[in-house]
Amino acid sequence: MVKLRRRFLGTVLVAALVDVGAPIQPWNALTAAAESEGAGISAAPAASMVSPAVAALLRLARSQADAGHGEQAAATLERALRIEPRNPWLWHRLAVLRLQQGYWDRAAELAKKSSVLARDHRRLLTGNLEVIQAARARISRSNVE
């Protein structure tokens, strides 16, 4: 296995994941259209579907994402997932967030996980499918370029 060693010089290393405060980048027309048409479901799940703790975290993640702190929002959603690991809504929201951040592969896999857990929930299944399609479109686009 190749070991990566980077010299740490007191500056912040940007590893693959860290949001250094940049706002969530708007991407190209295709995916922007998908987003505006609602790739994924932006509305919150019904109150009956989540516990108060998870509801609070969903709200927090929302505000963090809106303020452009994508990684913080992801961390908050992951915190919610530790409380309800089999809640398909949470996996879906994380998938949508990753899609918005441009992590196509990850977004698709998270959406698949959500779908397996969602079983017959049509709205969620459709939402996840949108995310997967948007991600695949973007991946094949970048392969062509």
Partner 1 sequence: MPRRKHKGGGRRSLYRRLRAWWIRLGLVCLVILGAWVSWIDHRLRVQFDGYRWSLPARVYARPFELYPGRPLHRAEIIGELGVLGYQEAPLIRRPGQYQQTSNAVRLFSHGYRFWDGEESSRVVEIRLHQGRVQAIIDRRNGTQVALMRLEPLEIARIYPHHNEDRILVKIDDVPSRLVQGLIASEDKSYLHHFGIDPLAIGRAFIENLRAGEVRQGGSTLTQQLVKNLFLSSERTLWRKINEAVMAVLLEWHYSKAEILEAYINEIFLGQDGFRAIHGFGLGARFYFGRPLRELEVHELALLVGLVRGASYYDPRRHPKRALERRNQVLALMINRGALTPAVGGALMKLPLTLSKKNRSATSNHPAFVDLVRRQLGIIYDDEDLRNEGLQIFTTLDPQIQRRAEQALRVSLSELERQRRMHAGHLQGAVVAAAIDTGEVLALAGGRDPRYAGFNRALDAKRPVGSLVKPAVYLAALSQPSRYNLITPLYDNPIVLRQRNRAPWTPQNYDKRYRGRMPLMRALAESNNVATVRLGIDLGIDKLQRTLAQLGVSGEIPPYPSTFLGAIEMSPLEVAQMYQTLSSGGFYSALRAIRDVLTKDGQPLQRYGLTVKQVLPAAPAYLINYALTQVVRSGTASSLGAKLPRSMPLAGKTGTTDGLRDSWFVGFGSDVLAAVWLGADDNRPIGLTGASGAMRVWYEVMKERPPAPLDLAVPRGVEWQWVDAPGMARTTPSCPGSRRYPFITPFIPSRHAPCDWRQESDYARAPREFLW
Interface with partner 1 by CB under 8 A: which residues?
Answer: 1, 3-8, 10, 12-13, 15, 17-18, 51-53, 55-57, 60, 64, 71-72, 74-76, 78-79, 81-83, 85-86, 94, 106, 109-110, 112-113, 116-117, 119
Tokens of 96: 């949508």
Q: Measured between alpha carbons, how far is 125 from 132 in angstroms, rounded to an integer? A: 11
Closest approach of partner 1 to the CB of residue 96, in Å: 14
By beta-carbon proximity to partner 1, the closer residue of 42 and 105 is: 105
By beta-carbon proximity to partner 1, the closer residue of 118 and 134 is: 118
Measuring CA to CA, which residue among 94, 106, 92 is closest to residue 135?
Answer: 106
Q: Measured between alpha carbons, how far is 72 from 51 in angstroms, rounded to an integer? A: 21
Closest approach of partner 1 to the CB of residue 113, in Å: 5
Residue type, 4: L
Tokens of 69: 């702190």
Closest approach of partner 1 to the CB of residue 104, in Å: 13
